[in-house]
C-alpha cells in the first residue's frame, strides 16, 4: 500500500513591504501562512514573532515574483498540536529542523525546539 502524500511547505524570502520570511504549511487544501519578520529562530530558546496571515492557494508552493523568492521548500510533519501549540519538523533542502509555533494573546511565536531530529 502506498504511503499517503506528505504535506508540503514553502519558505518565501519576501522583500516587501520590509524584508521578512513567509512560512506556508499545506493543510486542508490550502497553505496556512505566517509572516516571520525576523526569520526562523536559529538556536534553541530563540523566539521569533510569527504573524498569522490569510491562507494562500496551493499554487503559492512554487510562486515567485519580483518581490518574493522561494528560500526553501519540502515537506513537514506534525508531532503534536493543541489550541495553543503546534510542534512540527520542516524537511527542506538542508537537515530537518523541529520548531514549535506557540499562540500568544496577540500573535504567534516560533521557537526552535531543544530536541532536534537525528541526522543520517
- Taking only the tens place, the pLDDT of each residue in 47-94 is 999 999 999 999 999 999 999 999 999 999 999 999 999 999 999 999
Output 18 or 3, whichever has higher pLDDT. Answer: 18
Residue 101 neighbours by CB under 8 Å, 6+ apart: 34, 50, 85, 86, 88, 108, 109, 110
Can you tell me which residue has the cell 515574483?
65
pTM of the model: 0.92
pLDDT band at 119 (very low <50, low <70, confident <90, very high): low
| pLDDT for res 2 | 66
CA distance 20 to 34: 10
pLDDT of the residue at 120 = 53
pLDDT (0 to 100) of residue 45: 84
Answer for the pair 76, 32: CB distance below 8 angstroms, yes or no: no
Amino acid at each position: 500500500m502506498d504511503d499517503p502524500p506528505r504535506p508540503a511547505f514553502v519558505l518565501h524570502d519576501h522583500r516587501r513591504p520590509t524584508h521578512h520570511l513567509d512560512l506556508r504549511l499545506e493543510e486542508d487544501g490550502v497553505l496556512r501562512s505566517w509572516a516571520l519578520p525576523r526569520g526562523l529562530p536559529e538556536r534553541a530558546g530563540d523566539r521569533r514573532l510569527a504573524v498569522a496571515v490569510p491562507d494562500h492557494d496551493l499554487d503559492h508552493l512554487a510562486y515567485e515574483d519580483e518581490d518574493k523568492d522561494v528560500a526553501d521548500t519540502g515537506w513537514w510533519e506534525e508531532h503534536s498540536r493543541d489550541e495553543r501549540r503546534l510542534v512540527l519538523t520542516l524537511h527542506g533542502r538542508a537537515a530537518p529542523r523541529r520548531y514549535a509555533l506557540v499562540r500568544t494573546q496577540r500573535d504567534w511565536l516560533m521557537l526552535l525546539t531543544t530536541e532536534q531530529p537525528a541526522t543520517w
